[in-house]
Structure 1
Amino acid sequence: MSQELAAVAEAGAAAVVAAMATEVWQSTRAGLLRLFHRGDEERRAALAAQLDNNAALVDAAAAPDEVRRAVLAYWSGELTALLHADSSPRQALAQLAAEVAAALPKERGAGVFQQTNTAHDLGTVLAVQQGDLHASRRAASAPSPGTGRCSGS
């Protein structure tokens, strides 16, 4: 899947969870379910139930943003799978994310994430959004005499 589709899926998921337990939830829910119109009805009903359960958890939580963060990965995965199977809903998902971001108060906004990372020549890029990145690099040892291989620890 292209990085663009992955970014659209992430933005869509962020919009969906930001809208949970807000005044724009029902329209966001309906818009998201329209994107899954090509799937079978049983799958669509399961997704609708999952949306409702997640929204109820957010609504009942003492710390709703923690619940939103917890369900974000699930919806990001669902939308990534949707776009991987068929990229045609990409524009509709991007539009839904933009509409939700515009409808929510700025302090509660959906947060649209965009990141561009480029490495040239022998460069390396390590990047992350909404999480932690722990990276370490061991220095390569000199090649062992006569083997042409590095010995590492």
Structure 2
Amino acid sequence: MEAEMIELARTAGSAVVTLMATDAWERTRDGVVSLWRRVNPARADGIEGELDSARDDLLVARVNGDSLTEQELTEEWAGRLRRLLREQPSVAVELREILAELDPDLQNRGPQTVRMSADVSGSGRVYQAGRDQHITER
């Protein structure tokens, strides 16, 4: 059971950080804060502020091409969620529901790392994507 909770925390941490930079951010933040309100109400407001600060850090990092910050934030939030799940294992059901609501695919996969490289010479082209890619050439 412990391994399952750790994997859920990793998946959720990755999802939370990924969703920080999307239109689903407010729903994501509200869902995560609601978990803390249920388990540890005194910390909920602080968690909300920390999530907002993390989002600001992520957005600045993405502008600056700093992928290490995103990785660190993912690990940080996975750890926080793991400790929350350890404190109150019944929250796992609610956390899975939040993930399923925000992105049904997130509940069925763990964090993924994609590393790509390409060598191009002359007038060659390379198109790489870690997920969806749409190319329109004219």
Whether the 8 Å CA contact 1:5–1:80 is kept in 2: the answer is: yes
Question: Can you give the 5+ residue segments of structure 2 that lack an aligned partner in the other structure?
Answer: 114-138
Runs (4 or more) in structure 1 with deviation over 6 Å come to: none
Preserved CA contact (<8 Å) 2:5 2:82: yes
Name the structure 2 match of 1:19.
Answer: 19
Identify the structure with the greater helix proportion: 2
- TM-score between both structures, scaled by the size of structure 1: 0.62
> TM-score by structure 2 length?
0.69
How far apart, CA to CA, are the structure 2 residues paired with 1:46 and 1:83? 18
Q: How far apart are the structure 2 equivalents of 1:18 and 1:51?
A: 12
Which residue matches 1:97?
Answer: 99
User: In 2, distance between residues paired with 1:110 and 1:53?
Assistant: 25
Q: Is the CA contact 2:6–2:82 (under 8 Å) kept in the aligned structure 1?
A: yes
Alignment size in residue pairs: 110
For the pair 1:84 / 2:79, whether they are aligned, the reply is no
Unaligned runs of at least 5 residues, structure 1: 104-108, 115-128, 131-153
Instruction: Give me the identity figure in percent.
Output: 25
Q: Cα–Cα, structure 1 residues 50 and 98, in superposed 2: closer, same or farther, change >3 Å?
A: same
Aligned twin of 2:109: 112
Name the Cα RMSD after superposition.
Answer: 2.6
Which residue identity lines up with residue 30 of structure 1 in the other structure? D
Task: State whether residues 9 and 76 of structure 1, in contact with CA within 8 Å, keep that contact through their aligned partners in structure 2.
Answer: yes
